[in-house]
Chains A and B, each alone.
Chain A
Amino acid sequence: MKNLFAFALGSLLRRGAKNLFIFVIFFLMVFVLASVFMVTHALKKEMFTTLSALPQITVQRIVAGRQTQIGVERAERIARILGVSQALPRVWGFYYFPRAGVNYSIVGLESFGQQYRADLQKAADLYVEKLAAEDVMIVGPGVKKSLAEHFYPESFLFVKPDGSLKKVRIAGVFKPQTVLESNDLILMENSLVREIFGMDESMATDIVVRVPNKEEIPTVARKIREIYPDTRVITREDLRISYQNVFDYKSGIFLALFIVAVFTFFIILYDKASGLSSEEKREIGILKALGWKIGDIMRVKFFEAAVISLTAYLLAVTAAVAYVFMAQAPLLKHLFTGFSVLKPPFALPFTVDVGTLALIFFVTVPVYIAATLIPSWKAATLDADEVIR
């Protein structure tokens, strides 16, 4: 067996150029497929994790087709709808930091330093002594990094709508595990957010509604629409569908790439399955005449095909892991998330979908091996005499 394996390796090298071409196509196809699937899987996982943390219902006020501020008194009315356990006005928005060329998401919380300290300690590294002070914020790792790069290591001067400045000190940084959600996030007191955005005390950005019984969500959403016809009521299910649609659309682009890759692969398979070259047939005939069994010949052909396909597959998957999770999938990630430079960068979380990798394996490696073995078997079962005359 060892001798036959060595012979197979020698055969691969003897037909180096042809085998290298097949190897490269095989590698590229698996690499592209594995990379795309890894990126989408990582993004989907993150998106749906994020989704599960989103409010069951979000109520926004719409004026002239655009979202605008909503009165906080509406939260009280919504809270009285049967089935609603809580309706909270939220204060949040985007703050553009021109020096870094990015938007930060500023989110307000009521009395966050006291009320949410326990939760925040789980999610962020807090500078406790600063948390109790006024005018503090907890920032995402991306925000912390970009502020530090622009000489704001401990605090930042926000420019208010009237042009005056507001100094806010950093009291904590979100932990790296939350990076996809928190990278561009700044968390601070509601009153501070209102001051920075110039919002009135009676206004909020939106209202989030909690409904304990999931079955009642569509009914509650309908009732809110009836009471406040100028609102857009978004349920978590709406968001899930929206995300799914974006993924489906972008996955379609890759379906086209996939088809091209598979087409090339099948040309190779066709070439393999449609027969051996006269040189290869002759070689098989010689081996038979010298006393090789059909099984010996098939073993050598199996080793040849397995070495090419398995090596290409394993290298391609390794390269895809490095490309996606170490290099952060340059180009590919932005095809899915958009090329906007306004959003601070985030890291793709490491997650490997074994099922998808197994699927890629089964549609490539065994298919290629079979396409190699079938014509070899045909040639090996001919009379050697016919082949070598």
Chain B
Amino acid sequence: MQKEGLNMVEVKGVSKVFNAGRPNEMTALEDVSFAVGEGELVILKGPSGSGKSTLLSLIAALQKPTRGEVVVASEPVSRFSEDFAALYRRRKIGFVFQKFNLIPSLSVYENIITPLLPEKLDEEALKERAQRVMETFAIAHKANEPARNLSGGEQQRTAIARALVNDPPIILADEPTANLDADLSHAFLSYVGQMKEEGKTVIIATHDPLFFDLAITDREIALRNGKMEGA
């Protein structure tokens, strides 16, 4: 059930077609509509190729829908210019990628502060914010370690710390346990619980059954071949 109150994310009749008009045209999403309330945890589930990642990238304004609209906190993010979209991602979105997408040659600390660098923050403020999330996700002891040297679990915690360092109201996670073993996947679940407790709106795209029918989940949205199966 959707919680009453403000809709944090609204996906309105969204379709996404790649290579439109070409022989390799592919419809990734077709007329998808749903809303996510503030502080909700929503699971986008479905097999590979069902359009989950595309939907997340549309919510993050990394792409624009072919049809329809994405509205976040009453702002039409799918109509944002490139620069507004970047600013929106920096201030509103924390993204945990499937492969974590850390910059391997940067240290844990440097990776974590990357989203903050375009902001006018002094070094003290950067350190303070990084320290807070590094301690929360138990990665402070690896602060100066290059990301390439990290284990899977450490990479995961660094990626989550980076997603949260700018204290965004929305967390998007794309197949966050795809590259993790069972223990680390369970650890991720506990982090998700933490985020929810902090009042974050969390949307996780996954086909990992670990996330299905969880008590902390507010809703599950199933996608298949780019269409919603139920909401």
Contact = CB atoms under 8 A, between A and B. Distances in A.
Given A3-B121, A385-B62, A283 B103 contact: yes
B105 interface: yes
Contacts of A293: 82-83, 86-87, 118
A282 B95 CA distance: 16
Contacts of B106: 10, 14
B9 interface: no
B90 to A, nearest CB: 3
B118 A296 contact: yes
B67 interface: no
B118 to A, nearest CB: 4
Interface residues of A, number: 24
A383 B63 contact: yes
Nearest to A383: B63
A292 B103 CA distance: 14
Nearest to B60: A289
Contacts of A283: 103
A388 B87 contact: no
Interface string B93-112: 10101000101011000100
Identify which of B86, B89, B97, B105 gathers the most chain A CB atoms within 10 Å of its CB: B86
Contacts of B87: 291, 293
Given A4-B117, A4-B118, A291 B97 contact: no
Contacts, number: 71
Contacts of B101: 282, 286, 289, 388
A330 interface: no
A209 B88 CA distance: 85
Interface of B: 53, 57, 60, 62-63, 82-83, 86-91, 93, 95, 97, 101, 103, 105-106, 110, 114-119, 121, 126, 162, 166
8 smallest CB-CB distances across A and B, nearest first, come from A291-B90, A291-B89, A293-B86, A3-B117, A290-B115, A14-B105, A385-B62, A385-B57
29 contacts: A3-B116, A3-B117, A3-B118, A3-B126, A10-B110, A283-B103, A288-B62, A288-B86, A289-B60, A289-B62, A289-B89, A290-B89, A290-B90, A290-B115, A290-B162, A291-B90, A291-B91, A292-B86, A292-B115, A292-B117, A292-B118, A293-B82, A293-B86, A296-B86, A296-B117, A296-B118, A381-B82, A385-B57, A385-B62
Given A3-B118, A291-B87, A292-B118, 10 more contacts: A10-B106, A10-B110, A14-B106, A288-B62, A289-B62, A290-B89, A291-B166, A293-B82, A293-B86, A383-B62
